[in-house]
Amino acid sequence: MRIGMLTGGGDAPGLNAAIRAVVRAAHQAGHRTSGIRNGWAGALEGRIDELLPRDVRGILPLGGTVLGTSRTNPLKEADGLQRAMGQLTSHGIDAVVAMGGDDTLSVATALHETGYPVVGVPKTIDNDLSATDFCIGFDTAVGIVAEALDRLHTTASAHHRVMVVEVMGRDVGWVATMGGLAGGADIVLIPEYHVGLDEVVEHLRRRRGEGEDSSVVVVAEGVRMAGVETGSGVTDAFGHVRLSERGVGDALSRAIEAATGFETRVTVLGHLQRGGTPSTVDRIWATRLGARAAELAIDHCSGVIPVRRDGDVAVVPLADVLEQRRVPKELYELTRLFG
């Protein structure tokens, strides 16, 4: 059989490890593989090329994705699914391994429901897929946030400033929470739990009154707060606002300085969280999940996805991961102990 692979949505460190694993596992079992370029756009356009084991040598430590990616949504295109299936069939693809988050996997689920064989692989910096303890890219992103906070604490202290650090997190605050805990943030703000501007200001004033003349505030990019005016931004093919245009970090920084008089600066980590070498955790688990996805496709399974659960690989229906996984209250409350 021939297995086609695609990576959709935002790139993430560890995707190349998963691609490599699918290719190696499939070829070792006597099967063939093809790369679908630029996510679902490649499926619609027929940008599909054979992918051999020699093509994936040396890609394990590379960030990004050698297949390219896009936010194209076939479900929003006229006869999108039918066109994609036609291209996949004409290129001899017997099954698709789709690596992505809820948007990419929602298309994969729809394709499976038409009868076309599809297996998923969980990938999202935001770590917001249910039924799995791990999403490719999350561990690396948290490490980058923690390192950035380590550096920003020293410059904040030197200048007696408040530093606002905007990190990824559209609807959930996993990166902000875990990165903030690891990097010693004084305040963490996430979409799941409302904290008002007045509470932030009071907290910063209390710290200053206790002799702490600098503070680091971590805010997830999707946070909405009364009194903090953000931009609107354009939407993508899945209806998501481009959060870089909302500018919550910059808006919060201005609001804090206006309310407290404390010199305040903002750092937007943005795509730094996606780029560069994947962590060892991302490499290992992407490899394990990619290899298992290949095995599932070879066994003619469809509409399923390998996930990490309790330290091992489990297999669940694709639909099970599409529900959003939110930061539990008790974990978020832990961040409030250290401000």
Catalytic residues: 126
Check if the beta carbon of residue 42 is closer than 8 Å to that of residue 68. Answer: yes
- Over its C-alpha atoms, the chain yields an Rg (Å, rounded) of 21
Give yes or no for a contact between 240 and 10, defined as CB atoms under 8 angstroms apart: no
Neighbour tally for 299: CB within 10 Å: 11
Encoded tokens for 217:
């505030």
Contact between residue 39 and residue 6 where contact means Cβ atoms under 8 Å apart: yes
Alpha helices in 220-328 (DSSP H): 248-260, 280-298, 318-321
Bridge partner list, 193: 190
Q: What angle do CA 123, 126, 131 make, to 5 degrees?
A: 60
Among 83, 84, 68, 77, smallest CA distance to 6 is for 68
